[in-house]
Amino acid sequence: MSGERKLHWERVYEGKEPTEVSWYQPVPEKSLELIHSAARSTSDSIIDVGGGASSLVDRLLDVGYEDVSVLDISGKALQQSVARLGDLAARVRWIEADITDFNPSRSYAVWHDRAVFHFLTEETDRQRYIAAMKAALRAEGHFLLATFGPEGPLRCSGLDIRRYSVEMLRQLLGDDFVLQSEEIDEHRTPAGATQQFLYSWWQARA
């Protein structure tokens, strides 16, 4: 499955510009707000999971964050961001990996994911994701997650997805995390459709 998943996303980014994919945001306002709230300083380590072609990394660098990593399964997506950032790309750690196979080599203060987790429709993949996230987060670290909400679409980018409520996420995370905030947001896609996202902020227990 990992190889098929990678091939799918490489094809997506070979066939579309970053501004054409349905999850594109000119300014990722909600993500920025959550990161600003969760990070204690601009030196806190942040990993953006699935952020390959997203402009979030640009915005984080603009406001002074010094320790930013971007992980994506698509090398093509990462290349697009490297090209867009130019010399600034050297300030970012770029990680090409399937999140279900990710073995973190360091810890992070903030794990951010907008629109990756809901593509994991198999239970084993979800458990591998959660295990990688827990292994990567430092004590009392922050898990910032945006998935399709209870009334979100059933498919995206040609794939089935899994919609979430806060209670579903709470059951998946167990007692290791405390919910800090939740918010429903209506995302307008470049094609003009509306997608319901659920943003949630969880903090790992000490």
pLDDT in tens, 87-134: 999 999 999 999 999 999 999 999 999 999 999 999 999 999 999 999
Burial degree of 122 (CB within 10 A; 0-12, 13-18, 19+):
exposed
Taking CA atoms, 188 is separated from 31, 35, 45, 68, in Å, by 15, 21, 30, 27
What CATH homologous superfamily does 2-204 map to?
Answer: Vaccinia Virus protein VP39 (3.40.50.150)
For residue 170, the 8-state DSSP code is H
Instruction: Classify strands 155-156 and 177-188 as parallel, antiparallel or unpaired.
Output: unpaired
What are residue 86's phi and psi, to 5 degrees?
A: 65, -130
Residue 1 has pLDDT above 70, yes or no: no
Residue 205 has pLDDT above 70, yes or no: yes
pLDDT computed for residue 22 by the predictor: 83
Both tokens of 65, joined, read 């964050």
3-state secondary structure of 39: coil
Q: Among 157, 159, 148, which Cα is nearest to 117's?
A: 148
Alpha-carbon span 153 to 161, nearest angstrom: 8
- Banded model confidence at residue 62, pLDDT cuts 50, 70, 90: very high
Instruction: Classify strands 137-148 and 194-204 as parallel, antiparallel or unpaired.
Output: antiparallel
Both tokens of 101, joined, read 């196979």
Q: Among 90, 95, 93, 39, which Cα is nearest to 63's?
A: 39
Both tokens of 7, joined, read 């091939």
